[in-house]
Amino acid sequence: MGVDLDQPPPHFFIVGAPKCGTTSMAQYLNQHPEIFVLRGEPHYFGADIDYNSPRLTPAQYRVLCRDTGGKPICGDRSTWYLYSRSAAREIHAHNSHALIIAMLRNPAEMIHSLHAHHFQRGLRDDIEDLAQALAAEPDRRRGNRIPANARFPESLYYSELPRYSEQLQRYFDLFGRERVHVVLFDDLKRSPRDVYARTLAFLSADPAFEPDFTVHNASAPTPDSWVYRAWKASTLRYRIRSLAPQGLYDRIRKMRGKRLARAAKRQPRPALEPGLRARLSLQFDEEIERLEALIGRDLSNWRENA
């Protein structure tokens, strides 16, 4: 079992979840001489999620998958594929032999990080306080109080997002457990080399390579300008990224990473309030139990503050 290069690319998919280390994993894998990860998050699959408007056309997506710089293994990292109810089925129809990488994090921490990300990145969520944002969910499900800059309304339904067991099961059912590799954020943070080596083995890539393990995509403020918003709202950015030489693209990403790191130091994310953490831990206790049974891991540390 491994990557089937006779199947259409992408050969593997990092399907999410948001704020669980997917950007870092994609960058680590992309440094490997055998692996190319599509730049950005195309979100070509998942017709029920309106991530890009307009959506990439089949021809545009084929171009992204073709320009790999000669690397044989191609991957797509789009973090809402896990949440989407249709992405697993659509990916399977495209390449039934694809390998799936799912990255998961303590639900309370994931929600906290994602909310901060939304607020800091151009007010995708215009409610600064997480507890208030959670309280706004019923209104938002009725189509009210949706910020103008929100990417898509479902991204604000924070308490619905960490239903990992249900989301993973869709991929297990379609691809089989042997083709789904689950990575926990805690493991990646604590032992990136070990997690990376296991992921390379899953992809049947040379395990001897070791990347630069810099953290990517930490929550930090970004420019709130019409230029930035127009760039993020346009699918042209994927075509532009695909045309940029790899060396130039890598330098731009490194510069952006340093800028975000400086911004995060200037305006650090507020800590998750202990009472809210305890409430969220209790709220997701049954989900954590279901996930433990599904993946065979002890996740008691996710409940330690309940």
CATH of the domain at 224: 3.40.50.300
Q: Which of 142, 165, 101, 117 is nearest to 297 (CA)?
A: 165
- Structural domain contains residue 68: yes
- Structural domain contains residue 41: yes
pLDDT at position 101: 98
Q: Which of 183, 15, 162, 25 is nearest to 92 (CA)?
A: 15
φ/ψ (deg, to 5) at 102: -115, 130
Alpha-carbon gap, residue 110 to 189, rounded angstroms: 14
Angle between helices 164-175 and 87-94 (to 10 degrees): 20
pLDDT at position 5: 87
pLDDT per residue as tens, the chain (306 positions): 678 888 999 999 999 999 999 999 999 999 999 999 998 899 999 999 999 888 899 999 999 998 898 999 999 999 999 999 999 999 999 999 999 999 999 999 999 999 999 998 878 999 999 999 999 999 999 999 999 989 899 999 999 999 999 999 999 999 999 999 999 999 999 999 999 999 999 999 998 898 998 865 554 455 555 555 555 555 565 556 555 666 665 665 566 555 555 554 555 668 899 999 999 999 999 999 999 999 999 999 998 754
pLDDT at position 69: 87
Alpha-carbon gap, residue 191 to 198, rounded angstroms: 11
pLDDT at position 53: 80
Alpha-carbon gap, residue 247 to 227, rounded angstroms: 24
How many domains is the chain built from?
A: 1
Structural domain including 83 reads 12-295
- Structural domain contains residue 305: no
- Cα end-to-end span (Å), the chain: 40
The encoded tokens of residue 203 equal 């992809």
- Structural domain contains residue 4: no
129: CB partners within 8 A, 6+ apart: none
Alpha-carbon gap, residue 152 to 232, rounded angstroms: 13
Alpha-carbon gap, residue 192 to 172, rounded angstroms: 25
Region of residue 69 (phi > 0: left; psi between -120 and 50: alpha; otherwise: beta): left
Q: Is the peptide bond before 278 cis (omega within 30 degrees of 0)?
A: no
pLDDT at position 303: 85
